[in-house]
């Protein structure tokens, strides 16, 4: 059954890819013919609706989660920015680059002074990340079998390591696939979040940087221009919380509890307070040697309180294990098929 499930996922992936290409070709033509504004937004709504519905085409937790993040969140926000005439999408882009920019966390190569695109060599492909994360994740998945014997803090560490390494591995694989084929680079992923010295540093400059990169022009900037910086920060964290709730719904098929949204709203309020303190209480700042563990303790403690319980209640670890088992069976069957195909060839020599 797991192998049949994974076979079905491959078919779903092909159908989804074809649908994304078709609707984004339409979006590119519509954006080229309609000026930014309400008219362009109305024309792009079919693409937005498709992106929100695509996760339902997948049967596995991973398929729904990845498509929810890449398309239902990042992709739709890019389309909203396109409707306003801003953001990374531009109808003048070639179709291949337009589709990839809309559906994947990639960016166009920058040009140097001679006008030629800067591309990094094969060494830029994050092979080390793929090997390290790919080697460690199976041990983390195995550790889930003993979660009943773990303390809450031990389980927090297992969940945090799983989220960090899975995200790192997923984005490294995407980078490896698109780097040589498209001449495009991944958007920044993470930058040593374990060195964050403040909440602003953690969320804005170190963790899952694709999210603040899309929230700044789509939420923070417009709200800040009308209501001020604090409102922009709070709105960004609120939207992030709501989108996380949506992705959790895609992955676990359970109604949102509100805990994940509350986690991000709390961090938004604390980030605003942190900014106020930095500006008005300049007479004291904790040294970095103390700020880093304090920041990580706050992120981890509030995650244990609000974020990770939502994953535990939904049985997300069990769903991930099922996906992993299906992938293992599928790879075993592929190996047997390749061995069988090579057997007759070798026997004729």
Per-residue pLDDT of the chain (349 residues; tens, 9 = 90+): 455 555 677 888 899 999 999 999 999 999 999 999 999 999 999 999 999 999 999 988 888 999 999 999 999 999 999 999 999 999 999 998 899 889 988 765 554 334 444 444 434 446 666 777 767 777 777 777 777 787 777 777 777 777 777 777 777 777 676 665 666 666 667 788 899 999 999 999 999 888 999 999 999 999 999 999 999 999 999 999 999 999 999 999 888 889 999 999 999 999 999 998 888 766 567 888 999 999 999 998 999 889 988 887 877 767 776 666 665 555 565 556 556 655 554 455 5
Crossing angle of the two packed helices 76-83 and 2-33, in degrees rounded to 10: 0
Helix (H, G, I), strand (E, B) or coil at 345: helix
**Sequence spans of domains, the chain:** 1-106, 121-184, 187-330
What ranges make up the beta strands (E) of 19-63? none
Cα dihedral across residues 207, 211, 217, 222: positive or negative: negative
Q: Which helix (H) or strand (E) holds 192?
A: none
pTM of the model: 0.82
SS3 sequence, 201-251? Answer: HHHHHCCCCHHHHHHHHHHHHHHHHHHCHHHHHHHHHHHHHHHHHHHHHHH
CA 32 to chain centre: 28
Q: Give the separation between CA 70 and CA 181, rounded to whole angstroms.
A: 19
Name the strand (E) or helix (H) holding 107. Answer: strand 106-107
- Residue closest to 11 by CA, chosen among 53, 46, 61, 63: 63
């Amino acid at each position: 059954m797991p192998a049949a499930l994974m076979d079905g996922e491959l078919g779903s992936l092909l159908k989804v890819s074809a649908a994304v290409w078709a609707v984004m070709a339409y979006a590119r033509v519509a954006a080229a013919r309609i000026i930014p504004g309400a008219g362009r937004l109305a024309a792009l709504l079919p693409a937005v609706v498709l992106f929100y519905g695509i996760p339902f085409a997948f049967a596995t937790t991973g398929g729904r989660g990845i498509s929810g993040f890449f398309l239902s969140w990042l992709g739709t926000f890019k389309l909203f920015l396109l409707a306003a005439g801003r953001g990374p999408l531009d109808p003048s882009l070639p179709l291949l680059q337009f589709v990839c920019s809309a559906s994947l966390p990639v960016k166009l190569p920058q040009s140097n002074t001679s006008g030629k695109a800067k591309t990094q060599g094969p060494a830029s492909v994050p092979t080390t990340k793929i090997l390290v994360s790919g080697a460690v994740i199976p041990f983390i998945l195995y550790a889930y079998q003993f979660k009943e014997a773990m303390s809450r803090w031990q389980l927090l560490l297992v969940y945090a390591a799983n989220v960090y390494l899975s995200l790192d591995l997923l984005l490294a694989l995407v980078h490896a696939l698109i780097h040589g084929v498209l001449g495009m680079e991944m958007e920044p992923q993470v930058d040593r979040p374990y060195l964050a010295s403040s909440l602003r540093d953690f969320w804005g400059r170190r963790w899952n940087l694709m999210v603040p990169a899309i929230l700044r022009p789509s939420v923070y900037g417009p709200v800040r221009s009308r209501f001020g910086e604090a409102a922009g920060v709070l709105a960004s964290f609120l939207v992030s919380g709501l989108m996380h709730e949506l992705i959790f719904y895609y992955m676990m098929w359970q109604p949102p509890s509100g805990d994940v949204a509350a986690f991000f709203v709390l961090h938004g309020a604390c980030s605003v307070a942190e900014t106020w303190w930095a500006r008005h209480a300049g007479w004291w700042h904790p040294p970095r040697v103390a700020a880093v563990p304090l920041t990580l303790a706050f992120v981890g403690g509030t995650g244990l309180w609000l974020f990770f319980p939502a994953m535990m209640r939904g049985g997300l670890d069990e769903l991930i294990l099922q996906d992993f088992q299906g992938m293992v069976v599928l790879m075993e069957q592929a190996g047997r098929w390749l061995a069988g195909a090579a057997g007759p060839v070798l026997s004729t020599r």
